[in-house]
Chains A and B, each alone.
Chain A
Amino acid sequence: MKRAIVTAALLWAGLWPLAHYAIVQRYGINPWKLGAWAMYTVPTPPVLVGLFRQVPGGFLYVDHRKLSPALQEQVRKYEMQRHALGELARPEALADIALRELELPLITIVVQKAGLDLASAKTVVLKHEYVYERGRDGVRLVSDRPKLAPPEKQATGADIGVVPDESDTGSQAAP
């Protein structure tokens, strides 16, 4: 029994990193996290999250600084979760609170993740756009769309084709 437990610990330490790599590739989780000994393998800049309200002809960036402290805290928590878990962390809870607090029928949550492209050694910015609406039984996902940001654009609300009310990068997650 003792030997079986020690062997299990060793197998976990040795084999989990291989499965972890597959999960990193599929869901974009942070290689540094979840015990796969892959710390210091890739740069992991902070994830930025922005909230957008629907207006005629497009979306309007909701200034992070104008959010309530509770909603700001929720954004911060989601940024950290997203930074660690990638696409496995979905923003339902954030959308729920944001729709209630901002009293909106529809909200767009944009998750922006920067990375380093190995071929060019230049930064790339990946965006994931989630649109939620308030349904009868809570929030409902309307659309879910990843896309690559064009190069030479700053990390603001402006570079996803929307009209920001102020230039802001949103809040930053801890690295």
Chain B
Amino acid sequence: MRTRKEAVIAGRKQRRSRAEAVAEEAVEPQPTSLWGIVDPENSVLLPGKLDSLRRFLLLYSATRSCLWAVFAADLPQTGLALTTIWLFGCAAAAFLGGASSSATARSAASWAPAAALIALVPQLAWTLPFTNNHFILEMLVMIVLAVAGGSRRSDASRNAHVQARSDGDVRLAWRGVAWLTLIVFFHTGLQKVIYGYWFGGEFLAWMIGNTNRFGDLFMLFLSGGDILRLRAYNALSAGTGPYRVDSALFIAASNLVYIAEMALPVLLAWPRTRRLAAIASLVLVFVMQLGAREYGFAFLFLHLLMMFLPGDAIRRTLPLTAAIMAWVIGAAFKIFPGGWMVDPRSM
């Protein structure tokens, strides 16, 4: 006959094994489901990768907000200053809490994205309908991290049931961020197909003729005569054009852009091709955004793509990222040189 003490111990063991089973179920990837196809082969790194993304995103938000406060005269300056301070506070909580052994500090770090939304919601309201799409992407990723990315996995003080819930949250956050990245990436290509201005290179020809964007990148495929002709047109006059060129290379490059933007997300989702697709995507986005001079979008999207690389690439580059952010802020305030490179419209 079991003593009362033995019965309590047996009951605890039974509860623990049930919770562990739940935990294993939450951790095991589900390769057969479309929702789970984006899961990495090794899920052990997931909590760390999400922590790194959380730190980057909060630092990015604070820096972007700071630039808005400096340059965006049309927006409420006091509100922007207050929300910028708030976002820097959230970023500090994420950095300090993530590295701390204190449970309170770690909890503050996990709540930082939710707290950041308190600043991002009014910023969205102030900027509509002129809001940049990358701000909307920033906000969507922040929402996913706020609702699902709150817990760290490696916490010995937790019991198995809480651990299982935490692992489920981590997986949900990863899938949310990964699918969001893939959907946005795919849509950037699909929209080019729907509107149809990339098939004959018309959009790029117009941009080269009338703006300083894309010229450095795609002029390589054009003759001097074509460049002069495109630049002579007045975009505000009816009947000017045609914004077409004969260069087959230029037209091929134009078509390759949307094909890559639609194919790479599919290859990123597929585990076998993910690593190569991640590298190709990073190169494509880096080169394209260099041409478009959308440094804010480039910074954000490159980091989202880095999540698909094996290992914790964001953590490794975080010191460099922080240094670039510090320079951007310093240059905006004219403390550091190179302010001409900081384009407030691109953030």
Contacts and interface: CB of A to CB of B under 8 A. Distances in A.
A17 interface: yes
A35 interface: yes
Given A42-B195, A122-B239, A149-B238, A6 B133 contact: no
A152 B144 CA distance: 51
A25 to B, nearest CB: 10
B211 A121 contact: no
B194 interface: yes
B147 interface: yes
Contact of A33 (B131, B202, B292): B131
B242 A84 contact: no
B237 A155 contact: yes
A125 B236 contact: yes
Nearest to A121: B242
Nearest to A5: B147
Given A35-B131, A35-B133, A6 B148 contact: yes
A112 B236 CA distance: 9
Contacts of A36: 133, 187, 191
B243 A116 contact: yes
B340 interface: no
Contact of A6 (B131, B144, B234): B144
B206 interface: yes
A3 B172 contact: yes
Contacts of A125: 236-238
A45 B235 contact: yes
Interface in A107-155: 112, 114, 116, 118, 120-125, 149-155
A33 B280 CA distance: 27
Contacts of A80: 130
A17 B185 CA distance: 13
Contacts of B169: 2
B241 A121 contact: yes
A10 interface: yes
A122 B143 CA distance: 43
Contacts of A150: 238
Given A42-B203, A123-B238, A123-B239, A9 B129 contact: no
B180 interface: yes
A125 B210 CA distance: 16
A123 B233 CA distance: 9
A43 interface: yes
A118 B202 contact: yes
A24 to B, nearest CB: 9
B249 to A, nearest CB: 18
Contact of A37 (B179, B188, B211): B188
A125 B211 CA distance: 19
Interface string B122-145: 000000011101001100100110
- Tier of interface size on chain A: 35 or more
Contact of A114 (B129, B180, B238): B238
Given A38-B191, A123-B233, A9 B241 contact: no
Contacts of A116: 197, 202-203, 206, 241, 243
B133 A32 contact: yes
B183 A14 contact: yes
Contact of A153 (B198, B210, B237, B244): B237
B184 interface: yes
Contacts of A39: 133, 188, 294
Contacts of A60: none
B195 A10 contact: no
Contacts of B188: 37-40
B317 interface: no
A81 B241 CA distance: 27
A59 interface: no
B345 to A, nearest CB: 8
A171 interface: no
Nearest to B345: A174
B175 interface: yes
Interface string B164-208: 000001001101100110011001101110111110101101110
Given A31-B191, A125-B237, 10 more contacts: A2-B169, A5-B147, A12-B140, A13-B184, A40-B203, A41-B192, A80-B130, A81-B129, A118-B202, A152-B238
17 contacts: A2-B172, A10-B179, A13-B184, A33-B133, A37-B188, A40-B192, A41-B191, A41-B198, A43-B203, A45-B235, A80-B130, A114-B236, A118-B202, A123-B240, A123-B241, A152-B237, A153-B239
The 3 closest A-B pairs by CB, nearest first: A151-B239, A122-B241, A35-B136
